[in-house]
Chain A
C-alpha cells in the first residue's frame, strides 16, 4: 500500500498539468465564445474534466505530502488553493450547465468567475513550483539590482577596492572582511541555507557561531574556526570552502587571520586596527604595464591589415582584449623608409614596431613620428645614426627604444632627455658607453650591453 501511495504521490507533478490545461482551454474558449454563447455545452464539459482532474491532482498531491515527508506548513497554501481550484471548476461547470440547485451562481457575471479561476490556478501552480524548486528559483537569474528592488536580500559580490590614498581610512570589516565573506562563504552561510547553522552574512551571525559553537576566539586566529578551517588541507572534509567551491586567495586568508588577531572589530578602520600595509597591497589597483598605451581605440579594418600583410610586413593583434597592433619586418628584411607609407592607415593602432635588420635610414624618424600610440620601438641592426631622433619627442607613450648594433652617433641621444615616458634604452653594439652617454633623465634605464664572462680557473677543470 505504501508503495502505491508513494508511486501515486510521485505522479502528482504530472497530473497537475491536466487541470491547468483544461482550465486554460476552457477560459480561452469562453473568451472566443463570449458574443454568441453557442458552445456552452462543450465548454462545460471541459470544466467538468478540469474539476475531475483537479480532484485527482489533489488526491495525488496529498499522497505525495504524506509519502515524501513535507512539513504541513510548507504545503498548506498549495493544498488549500488546490482544493479550491477543484471546487471552483465544478462550480463553473454547474454554472454553465445552469443546474437548478446552483441557481445562485448566475448572479455573478461569468467574466468574474473566469478571472477568479485564472488567478486561483496561477497561484496554486506557483505555490507548487516553489515547493519543488525553492522559493528563489525564479528570482535567482535576475541581476542584483532587481533582486534588491523586489525586496530580496542580496549578497553582493563586491570586490575589495583599496588604494594608496584610502587604505588606512577604510573600515576593516565593512570594506575588506565582509566582501571576502560575501564572495567566498555567504552563498552557503546565509539565512536561506545556513549550512552548519552558521550565518556569515552579518555581524550578528558571525558572533552567534554555528552548530559547533563560536567561530571566533577573540584575538586568537589559531583557535578560531573561521580562520583554521580555511588553512586545513584541501582533502580534509572540514576544509572551508568545500572542495570545488571558489577558494579565497592566500592574501584573503591572511587578512581573515589578521582581522581576528587584531580583535575582530566590526567598526574600526584599518589604521585603528594597526594592520600593516603589506597585507593590503595586492588589493590595490594594478598599474597595467602592457606594451601599449592605457587607452581604448577602434580596431583597424581587416582589409587594411590584409593589404599591409600582402607586402610582407607582419601584423599582429596584441591580444584579444586590445585593438592595438604590433608590426614587424621579420619576414621583410628589404623594408626601406619608402615602404613605411603602407602602414599609415593603421597608424593609430600600432603600439609596437619592429624594424630591426632592415634597410631603413635616418629618414625613418619623421615617419615614425606619425604613430601617436607607439610604445615600443625596435630599430636594431640598421644603418640609422639617430639623427632626427628628436622628431619622436611628440610620441608621448614611447617607453622603450632598441638601438642595438646600429651606426648610432651618441650626440643624437641628447634629444631623449625630453622624452616623457621613455624608460628603457638598449645601446649594445654601438659606440655608446657609460662614459660618452650622459642623460639627465633619471627615469631612463640604459643597457649598454657588452657583458663579459671572463674565463675562470674552474672552467677547464674536469672532475
Chain B
C-alpha cells in the first residue's frame, strides 16, 4: 500500500517536471501579467469588488454580514412586507371589481372595437362577454365591493386600499410574474424582496431576510427568478422554505455530529474562505461565508419559527391551518410568525388561479370559488392577527396576481369550453395593499363598464413598486445599483408613487 502511494507521488512529480518547460514558464508569465491587467479593468465595473479591493484583508460589517441593517432614505412607514401572489392571475371580476353592466351584457358578442390591436393568450375570433359569476355587496364603512367568493374578507375591507385599475404589458404567466416581481419581463433583474433586503438588511441575525413560501401544488411559472437576486449579490435572493415536513431540507445534523463539532467545522471553513477572499476579492466568497454561518444559526431558529404546532388552538382555527400539509393557510400563519421575528420580506405564492375553463379546478364558477375559499379565511386572519399584535402598523401586505382576466368568456380554439373561463388580461386588474402608511378603506382607480380597461386612476406595475419602496423608506429614483456600467433601479425609468392610497 505504502509503496503504491509512493509510486503515485513519484509519477505525479515526474509529470509535473515534464510539463514545466521553459516555454511553459514564459507562457504562464504572460498570462499572469495579462490577467492582472484585465482583472483591474473588469473589476472596475463592480462596486462591491471596488470596495473590497481597497481593503482586501479588512472586512466592513456589510462584507462579513451582508444582512447588516442599513438606514433607508427617509422615514419608513413599514419594516416588513408580506407579498401574497396568486399565481395564475385571479379574476378581479369575481372578487373585487363589480361590473353590473357586464351582467346585462352576458352572452353578447364582444364589440370588435375592443378587440382591435389586442393580444390574448387563447381567445380567438369574437368571444362573448360573460357576466360576473359572483354576487357582490358593498362592505364595511368604506362601502368597497367584495364578492360572496370572499365572505370573511369583508370584515377587514376597511383595513385595505384597493387599486382597481392596475395594468401590465405582459399577457403570459412567466414574463408577467417576472415583471411583477423584478420590474422587467426578462430574466436577470433582482426581485423586490432582494432589493428590500439589499437596501435595508434584516434585523434577526438567525433568520434569512427574505423568505419564500409556496402553496397550491406548484411553484410559479417564471421559476425561482421571481425571488432571485439578479445582479445583486446572491445572498439577497429569497430563501424558499417548505411548509410541509422539514422547512429546509437537510437541516438536521447527521447522527454522531455534535453542535460543537459543527461549529468548529464552520469556523475552519470560514477561515479558509476568508483567505480565498483576500486572494481573489470575489464577493461570492463572502456570500458563501455568510451562508455557512447563517445555515448554522438557522438550524436552531428556523425549525422553531416554522413550527406552527406551538401556536394556540384558537389562532390555528382562525387561520384554518392544516398542520402537516402544504397550504396557503399554513403559509399565512408562518408569514405572521416570520414578520414577528423580524424577517424583512416574506413572499407567498399560491398556485392554481389560472381559470381558463378547461378543467373544473380551473373554472371561474367552480375552481376559482374553491381557490377563494382557500385564501379568504387565512388572509382575513392574517390581517386581524397582525392588527391585534400591533404588527400591522409595521408591515405592508400586498395582494395580487400577475395580471387580471378578460370580461369575455374564453373560447379556446374558437370552441365552447367545458367550463366557464376567462382569458389572461393585462389592461386592468385589481390589487390591494394593507398595513402601515396605507389609507384604510381607500379605493383608487376605476375600470370601464365591463372592466376591460382602466378609465381613471390607472397605475402600472412600476407604480406599485415605487409605492412599496416608498413605504419601506426608499426614494425609488435614488435607490440604484451599479451594474454593467450604469445604475439600475427596480422601477427602471418609470414609476410614480400612488399617493391616493397613502395615509
Q: Which A residues form the contact surface with B (CB < 8 A)?
A: 288, 290-292, 314, 316-322, 328, 330-331, 378, 380, 400, 402, 404, 424, 426, 428-429, 447-453, 456, 458-459, 461-463
Q: Assuming A316-B69, A331-B206, is B389 touching A428 (CB within 8 A)?
A: yes
Report which of A453, A456, A462 forms a contact with B381, defined as CB distance below 8 A. Answer: A453
Chain B's interface: helix, strand, loop or mixed, by majority?
A: loop
- The reply to whether B373 and A453 form a contact with Cβ atoms under 8 Å apart is no
Taking a contact as CB atoms under 8 Å apart, the answer to whether B366 and A453 are in contact is no
Do residues A314 and B380 form an inter-chain contact, with CB atoms below 8 A? no
B132 to chain A, nearest CB (A): 16
The chain B residues found within 8 Å of chain A, CB to CB, are 69, 71-76, 148, 151-152, 155, 203-206, 314, 317-318, 320, 341-342, 365-367, 369-370, 373, 377, 380-381, 384-385, 387-390, 393, 473
Contact B388 A378 (CB under 8 A): no
The contact sample of 28 A-B pairs, CB cut-off 8 A, is: A316-B203, A317-B71, A318-B71, A319-B71, A319-B73, A319-B75, A319-B473, A320-B74, A321-B73, A330-B204, A330-B341, A331-B205, A331-B206, A378-B390, A402-B389, A402-B390, A404-B388, A404-B390, A424-B390, A429-B388, A449-B388, A449-B389, A451-B318, A451-B385, A451-B388, A453-B380, A453-B384, A459-B377
Which of A317, A428, A463 contacts B365 (CB under 8 A)? A463
Whether A316 pairs with B71 at a CB distance below 8 angstroms is yes
Closest residue of chain B to A247 (Cβ to Cβ) is B496
Residues of B within 8 A of A426 (CB): 388-390
Residue among B71, B151, B205, B387 making CB contact with A447, cutoff 8 Å: B387
In this complex, the member of B74, B370, B473 whose beta carbon has the largest number of chain A beta carbons within 10 angstroms is B74
**Using Cβ atoms and an 8 Å threshold, which residues of chain A touch B373?**
458-459, 461-462
Q: Which residues of B contact A462 (CB under 8 A)?
A: 370, 373
Docked complex Cα distance between A349 and B367 (Å): 54
Chain B residues, CB < 8 A from A290:
75
Chain A residues near B341 (CB-CB < 8 A): 330
- Assuming the contacts A331-B206, A456-B152, A458-B373, asked whether A447 and B74 have C-beta atoms less than 8 A apart, the reply is no
Q: Provide the residues of chain B in CB contact with A328, threshold 8 Å.
A: 203, 342
| Interface SS majority for chain A | loop
Cβ B473 vs Cβ A314 within 8 A: no
Please indicate which of the listed interface residues A451, A453, A461 has the most CB atoms of chain B within 10 Å of its own CB: A453
Report the Cα distance A367→B358, complex, angstroms.
65
| CB-CB under 8 A for A318 and B151, given A330-B204, A426-B390 | no
| Contact B389 A404, beta carbon cutoff 8 Å | yes
List residues of chain A with CB within 8 A of the CB of B205: 331
B318 contact set on A, CB distance < 8 A: 451-453
Question: In the assembly, what is the distance between CA of A380 and CA of B394, in Å?
Answer: 15
CA distance A429 to B314 in the complex (A): 12
Partner of B151 from the list A291, A380, A451, A456 (CB cut-off 8 Å) is: A456
Instruction: Kindly state the separation between the CA atoms of A374 and B312 in the bound complex, as whole angstroms.
Output: 32
A424 to chain B: which residues have CB within 8 Å?
A: 390, 393
* A residues near B370, Cβ cutoff 8 Å: 462-463
Complex: A330 Cα to B317 Cα, angstroms:
27
In the complex, what residues of A have CB within 8 A of residue B320's CB?
459
* Interfacial chain B residues near A463, Cβ < 8 Å: 365-367, 369-370
Q: Pick the contact of A288: B75, B151, B388 (CB < 8 A).
A: B75
Give A459 to B150 CA distance when docked, in angstroms. Answer: 10
Tell me the nearest residue of chain A to B76, going by C-beta: A319
Q: How far is the CB of A279 from chain B (nearest CB, A)?
A: 15
Q: Cα distance A96–B393 when bound, in Å?
A: 86
Total cross-chain contacts (CB, 8 A): 96
Interfacial chain A residues near B393, Cβ < 8 Å: 400, 424
A461 / chain B contacts, CB cutoff of 8 Å: 373
Chain A: minimal CB distance from B184 (Å): 21
**Known interface pairs A331-B204, A458-B151; A320-B388 also in contact (CB < 8 Å):** no
Residues of chain A within 8 A (CB-CB) of B203 are 314, 316, 328, 330-331
Nearest CB in chain A to that of B392: its residue: A447
Q: A291-B75, A459-B377, A461-B373 are in contact. Are A450 and B388 (CB under 8 A)?
A: yes
Nearest Cβ distance between residue B440 and chain A, in whole angstroms?
Answer: 13
The listed residue (B69, B75, B369, B389) touching A321 by CB distance below 8 A is B75
Candidates A318, A331, A428, A459; contact of B388 at CB < 8 Å? A428
4 other A-B residue contacts (CB within 8 Å) besides A319-B76, A453-B384: A290-B75, A447-B388, A459-B320, A463-B367
B451 to chain A, nearest CB (A): 21
Q: Which of A288, A320, A456, A461 has the most CB of B within 10 A?
A: A320
Return A206 CB to nearest CB of chain B, in Å.
Answer: 28
Residues of A within 8 A of B314 (CB): 452
In the bound assembly, the distance between CA atoms of A222 and B93 in angstroms comes to 33
Q: Determine how close the nearest CB of chain A comes to the CB of B279; give it in whole angstroms.
A: 29
Q: Which residues of A have CB within 8 Å of B365?
A: 463
Residue of A nearest to B383 (CB): A451
* CB-CB nearest in chain B for A251: B499
For A288, the chain B residues whose CB sits under 8 A away are 75
How far is it, in angstroms, between the C-alpha of A316 and the C-alpha of B199 when the chains are bound?
13
Chain A residues whose C-beta falls within 8 Å of the C-beta of B367 in the assembled complex: 463
Given A318-B71, A319-B75, A320-B72, answer yes or no on A330-B342 (Cβ-Cβ < 8 Å).
yes
Distance (Å) between the CB of A306 and the closest chain B CB? 9
Of all chain B residues, the one with the shortest Cβ separation from A403 is B390
When the two chains form their complex, are residues B389 and A380 in contact, meaning their CB atoms are under 8 A apart? yes
Taking a contact as CB atoms under 8 Å apart, the answer to whether B369 and A320 are in contact is no
Whether A453 and B75, one on each chain, are in contact in the complex, defined by CB atoms closer than 8 angstroms, is: no
List of B residues within 8 angstroms of A450 by Cβ = 388
Bound form: Cα–Cα A318–B72 in Å: 8
Give the docked Cα–Cα distance between A462 and B367 (Å).
9
CA distance A378 to B206 in the complex (A): 21
CB-CB < 8 A to A402: which residues of B? 389-390
Q: How many angstroms between the C-alpha atoms of A450 and B341 in the bound complex?
A: 21
Q: Nearest-CB distance from B196 to chain A (Å)? A: 15
- With a cutoff of 8 Å between Cβ atoms, the chain B residues found around residue A459 in the complex are 320, 373, 377
Residues on A with beta carbons closer than 8 Å to the beta carbon of B148: 458
Residues in B whose Cβ lies below 8 Å from that of A400? 390, 393
A314's contact among B69, B71, B377, by CB below 8 Å, is which? B69
Nearest chain B residue, comparing its CB with the CB of A457: B151
Name the B residues within 8 Å of A456 (CB-CB): 151-152
Residue numbers in A under 8 Å from B73 (CB-CB) = 319-321
B344 CB → nearest A CB, Å: 12
In Å, the complex CA distance between A448 and B72 comes to 32
Q: Which residues of B contact A322 (CB under 8 A)?
A: 75
Distance A461 CA – B365 CA, assembled complex (angstroms): 13
Closest 4 CB pairs of A and B: A449-B388, A426-B390, A317-B71, A428-B388
Q: How far is the CB of A231 from chain B (nearest CB, A)?
A: 12
Give A53 to B71 CA distance when docked, in angstroms.
61
Q: Which residues of A contact B71 (CB under 8 A)?
A: 316-320
A81 to B211, CA, bound (A): 74
| Given A331-B203, A402-B390, A318-B75 contact (CB < 8 Å) | yes
Q: Are A319 and B72 in contact (CB under 8 A)?
A: yes
Min CB gap B37→A, angstroms? 37
Chain B residues closer than 8 Å to A448, beta-carbon distance: 388
Which A residues are CB-close (under 8 A) to B206? 331
When C-beta atoms are compared, the residue in chain B nearest to A325 turns out to be B71
Cα–Cα, bound, A321→B365 (Å) = 51
- Least CB distance from B458 to A in Å reads 11
Question: Is there an interface contact between A380 and B390, defined as CB atoms closer than 8 Å?
Answer: yes
Please, which residues of chain A bring their CB within 8 A of the CB of B369?
463
Which B residues touch A428, using CB under 8 A?
388-390
Across the interface, B74 reaches (CB within 8 A) one of A319, A451, A452, A458, namely: A319
CA distance A312 to B385 in the complex (A): 29
Closest to B385 in A: A451
Task: Provide the residues of chain A in CB contact with B151, threshold 8 Å.
Answer: 456, 458
Residues of B within 8 A of A447 (CB): 387-388, 390
Q: CA separation between A141 and B37, bound complex, in Å? A: 41
What is the chain A residue whose CB lies nearest that of B204?
A: A330
- A325 → B minimal CB distance (Å): 10
Q: B residues within 8 A CB of A451?
A: 318, 384-385, 387-388
- The residues of B that contact A320 with a CB separation of less than 8 Å are 71-74
